Amino acid sequence: MTSLLGIDIPVLLGPFGGMSSAELTADVSEYGGLGAFGLYGYDAERIGQAFAAIRARTARPFAVNLWLTGDEPAISDAEFDTFVEALRPFFDELGIPVPSRPARFLPTFAEQLEAVIASEPAVISFVYGVPPAEVVDAARARGIVLLGTATTVDEAVALERSGVDVIVATGMEAAGHRVSFLRVPEESIVGTFALIPQVVDAVRVPVVAAGGIADRRGVRAAFALGASGVQVGTAFLATRQSAANDAHRQAIAEASADASVLTRAMSGRLARGLPNRAIRSIEAGRVIAPFPIQNWLTGQFRAEAVRRGIGELQSLWLGQAAPLARHTDARDVFDELAAGVPPLEPSDDPPSRR
Q: What strands, in cross-sheet order, belong to the sheet with 271-273?
A: 176-177, 271-273, 261-263
Query: H helices within 56-191, ranges in order?
Result: 77-94, 109-119, 133-141, 153-162
Q: Please report how many Cα atoms fall inside a 13 Å half-sphere around the Cα of residue 133, on the Cβ side.
A: 1
For each of the chain's 354 residues, which pLDDT tens digit applies?
999 999 999 999 999 988 999 999 999 999 999 999 999 999 999 999 999 999 999 999 999 999 998 889 999 999 999 999 999 999 999 999 999 999 999 999 999 999 999 999 999 999 999 999 999 999 999 999 999 999 999 999 999 999 999 999 999 999 999 999 999 999 999 999 999 999 999 999 999 999 999 999 999 999 999 999 999 999 999 999 999 999 999 999 999 989 999 999 999 999 999 999 999 999 999 999 999 999 999 999 999 999 999 999 999 999 999 999 999 999 999 999 999 999 876 654 544 443
Helix (H, G, I), strand (E, B) or coil at 109: helix
Q: How far apart are CA 337 and CA 137, in angstroms?
A: 34
pTM (2 decimals)?
A: 0.94
The pLDDT score that the predictor gives to residue 144 is 97
Contact by Cβ (8 Å): 90, 22: no
Please, which residues have CB within 8 angstroms of residue 331's CB and are 6 or more apart in sequence? 27, 31
DSSP code for 100: P
Helix (H, G, I), strand (E, B) or coil at 182: coil
CA angle, 29 then 130 then 14, to 5° = 25
Closest to 251 (Cα-Cα) out of 180, 305, 193, 194: 305
Phi, psi of 204 (to 5 degrees): -110, -10
Contact by Cβ (8 Å): 294, 268: yes
The pLDDT score that the predictor gives to residue 347 is 54
The pLDDT score that the predictor gives to residue 346 is 61
> Could you tell me the domains of the chain?
2-69+106-244+324-338 (3.20.20.70), 73-102+261-317 (no CATH)
The pLDDT score that the predictor gives to residue 69 is 85
The pLDDT score that the predictor gives to residue 71 is 85
Q: How many residues does the chain have?
A: 354
Phi, psi of 74 (to 5 degrees): -85, 120
Helix (H, G, I), strand (E, B) or coil at 271: strand
Neighbours of 101 (CB within 10 A): 15
The pLDDT score that the predictor gives to residue 70 is 83
Q: How far apart are CA 327 and CA 305, in angstroms?
A: 25
